[in-house]
Structure 1
Amino acid sequence: MLASAASNQFGAAVGAGAFAAIGPLGVVAVRQFVGAAVLMTTVRPPLRRFTRRQWWPVIVLGGVFVVMNLSLYTAVDRIGLGLAVTLEFLGPLGVALAASRRLVDVGAAIAALIGVYVLVLPGPSSDVWGIASGLLAGACWASYILLSRLIGQRTEGLQGAAASSSVAAAMSLPVIVIFAVQGRFTAPAVLAAAVAGLLCTVVPYALDLLTLRFVPAAAFGVFMSVNPVLAAVAGLVVLAQVPAPHEWLGVAIVVAVNVWVTVRGSRGAAAV
């Protein structure tokens, strides 16, 4: 689980190193192609046998992939990796809170909002576009969870995820063509974006599948809280982005709320 989370966050940091040459849009386009190439060749989903009932959530999820990654990398470029991933992390936290009607979870939602306020400390100098991009990535992550659940009910194994990755790659094709014609794809930039595709998509998929054979889903959900912390560390080590004390505190609050909600949810499921 630690290797999966670290691969994801350090991969994002490596991808950010290509921003100067090809920007977040170029990094996302290359990342989608790398992820799709690996998943399509290993999973080999039977696309010709997909029905309309299977295709529509697959296509929507492909669009969500593109918007989620683009908004996340835009946020990373503007406000730093740690802050961007913490804001994105509000997506799965929101899904967990929305599934509950208990008063204690209302308090958890308020605590999460306090954590975000401490993390951002909004003011005249705040990067509103960067913060909005991070929140949009969170909304996409929530959509990803709901769509993946639906696709998992209608397709086998990773067939839906592989098909969605191919849709995302097709959506990114115009960017690849335009950037190639403009000569913006330098070897170091393409290499960094490709490494990001491997570390952020392929490696976590494989490790998560392996992990979930041995680790209960609730424990896995709790451990996901390490992602904002590792994102802050990756930003510090790879990108020299030093979080302010209030940002560390905000990350800690959001992580603590997620652990609380996940543990409460697992206990409730066990009681039922």
Structure 2
Amino acid sequence: MNAIDGKNRPAAPLLQRIPPHAFFVGSAIFHYLGPSFAVLLFARVPVAGVAWLRIVSAAVVFAVWRRPWRAFLAAASHTRWMIVALGAVFAVMNYCFYRAIAELPLGTVAAIEFMGPVALALAGARSQRNMMALALTVAGVYMLTHVRLAGTPLAFAWAFANAVLFTLYIVLAHGVARADPATSPIDRLGASMMLAGVIISPLGFRDAVPALLDPITLCAGVAVGISSSVIPYVFDQLAMSRLPRSTYALFVALLPATAVIIGVIVLGQIPTFFENVGVGLVAAGVALHRPAP
């Protein structure tokens, strides 16, 4: 793995000593911490505008921090296509995600999001222990979902579209993380985010214009972008570069659990008894899982 300073040197010893699972836990926390703040922004900015602020502010951060166009130009042709595809997925996935959480609880959207990764985890289970781990996590996610299936059909359509795109994200981001040893995976991620900023502009720029004239709202939007699309995706790349894709897919089960916890802390969405049991089952399944050799 390359160092995150963009130079072609071995990774820092500190990063090598940190287990990849720890990066995923960090990603899981920020994956819904940022969107929970975005829900609070919906009172000031339309949904599409919040999605635009998230992607574009993250793209600006990557541009200043990493100058990722250099990695894009240096990458092989097939890697460039993966970067472009990941950028398109980033843009449309986040648009669908915000459309969904504008009407549905974070826990419900997170549980629906888990359905695609279940298939990826199942494909790589290869042992009775991992099948049991998958069964526990699916049962936990079901309990997290089952008690809050209330909302408009359109909101669920956005949530399921987001789930499909999130599955594509796992496949493409895992490929980008391991695609080209000559460049940093963080730089390739940054290139994808810059492309996503261009792709989402026709969908959300008009709704984001009022926020550009309001310093407080603009700062809040930038904070959402950093906490939603910089920190968690960087952690994802650091985890994916060392974890099998099926293992990462199973760990996605942590997202509904962390969404419930973040929903309690930030949004006051109090979980029921069954949701608490679901969180426990997810944690047990993740603890039981072992990556295939």
Say whether the fold is shared (TM-score over 0.5): yes
How does 1:54-203 map onto structure 2 within 5 Å? Answer: 54-100=79-125, 114-121=139-146, 125-155=150-180, 156-157=183-184, 158-179=186-207, 183=210, 186-203=214-231
Q: Could you tell me which amino acid in structure 2 is paired with residue 170 of structure 1? A: V
Deviations 1:228-259 (A, max 9, x none): 33321221222222233333334444454444
1:232 aligns with 2:260: yes
Cα pair 2:109 2:159 within 8 Å, conserved? yes
Q: Percent same amino acid at aligned positions?
A: 26
Deviations 1:199-226 (A, max 9, x none): 122233555677899xx748x9587654
Match of 2:10 in 1: none
RMSD: 3.5
1:16 aligns with 2:44: no
Distance change (3 Å), C-alpha of 1:98 and 1:188: farther
Distance change (3 Å), C-alpha of 1:211 and 1:163: closer
Q: Which moved more, 1:67-76 or 1:116-125?
A: 116-125
TM score, norm. by length of structure 1: 0.77
Distance change (3 Å), C-alpha of 1:102 and 1:128: farther
Distance change (3 Å), C-alpha of 1:192 and 1:154: same
Match of 1:31 in 2: 54
- Structure 2 CA distance, aligned partners of 1:236 and 1:224? 19
- Structure 1 CA distance, aligned partners of 2:152 and 2:136? 23
Unaligned runs of 5+ in 2: 1-21
1:244 aligns with 2:268: no
Distance change (3 Å), C-alpha of 1:139 and 1:254: farther
TM score, norm. by length of structure 2: 0.72
Q: Could you tell me which amino acid in structure 2 is paired with residue 40 of structure 1? A: A
Unaligned runs of 5+ in 1: none
Match of 2:67 in 1: 44
Cα pair 1:28 1:193 within 8 Å, conserved? no
Cα pair 1:72 1:85 within 8 Å, conserved? no
Distance change (3 Å), C-alpha of 1:137 and 1:125: closer
Distance change (3 Å), C-alpha of 1:257 and 1:74: farther
Deviations 1:148-183 (A, max 9, x none): 2322343321232111101100012234542255x3
Q: CA deviation at 1:113?
A: 5.1
Deviations 1:100-128 (A, max 9, x none): 45577666666655545433338995544
Cα pair 2:107 2:144 within 8 Å, conserved? no
Cα pair 1:72 1:88 within 8 Å, conserved? no
Distance change (3 Å), C-alpha of 1:115 and 1:206: closer
Aligned residues: 261
Cα pair 1:15 1:195 within 8 Å, conserved? no
Distance change (3 Å), C-alpha of 1:23 and 1:54: same
Distance change (3 Å), C-alpha of 1:42 and 1:126: closer
Distance change (3 Å), C-alpha of 1:33 and 1:144: same
